[in-house]
Structure 1
């Protein structure tokens, strides 16, 4: 259909359909809520939203990233380490996951292991 063939009724129907509230899947809303809790510096609340997602979708990259961030920010460093290692293994080009891995290793006192990850991130970001 060409632009000049679109009727006023079709435009009105489109606007009406766009203005209706869309249903967001529960999983998506939980992830959004977790991200909001992280933005409000409440990683424990974020983890409450993420627990069912970690159980049902343990390999989803967005779930792993949000959970790793929440674990890191709540000083649950071994859990953050496990997830960040999995993310880097699955996608070596994910530099945020690599940064999180490096910072987690640093906080665990494993500076030698962290150095390589952080150096790579720094080289790319320059």
Structure 2
């Protein structure tokens, strides 16, 4: 006789703040390991529980960009900039998103904002200010 006991599905993961921190850190590692889709999956639950978490939204925007999901990346970068208009990195990344989507005028605006907020060499070079 064979054992026909049905297998139960694994218990659902708890939705504690600690779990969200673990998921956020794991998403960072997945993005670094070039698995942006895996990162997005983890960040979806973090953002569902904490929609105000700008760091998670910025990381998800980066993951969308890395996965060539430009419209979702653009929307996430815009949410970050609504909350943090002085976030130079978000302006720079949104500019790269516009550039990749073939919208050079929108890209130029955000490259220049990034350079004005934080005049680091990468931002200044991308802004292409006329002399």
TM-score bucket of the superposed structures, by smaller chain:
0.7 to 0.9
SS of aligned partner of 2:48: helix
Matched ranges for 1:97-116 at <5 A: 97-116=90-109
Q: What's the C-alpha RMSD, in Å, of the aligned pairs?
A: 1.4
Matched ranges for 1:1-126 at <5 A: 25-123=18-116, 124-126=119-121
Question: Which moves more between the two structures, 89-98 or 65-74?
Answer: 89-98
Q: Paired residue for 2:11? A: none
Give the superposition deviation at 1:61: 0.7
Structure with greater helix share of residues: 1
Give the superposition deviation at 1:93: 1.0
> In structure 2, how many angstroms separate the alpha carbons of the residues matched to 1:47 and 1:96?
19
Q: Which runs of 4+ in 1 moved over 4 A?
A: none
- The two structures have a TM-score, normalised by structure 1, of 0.76
Q: Which runs of 5+ in 1 are unaligned?
A: 1-23
Q: Which runs of 5+ in 2 are unaligned?
A: 1-16, 122-131
Q: Paired residue for 2:124? A: none
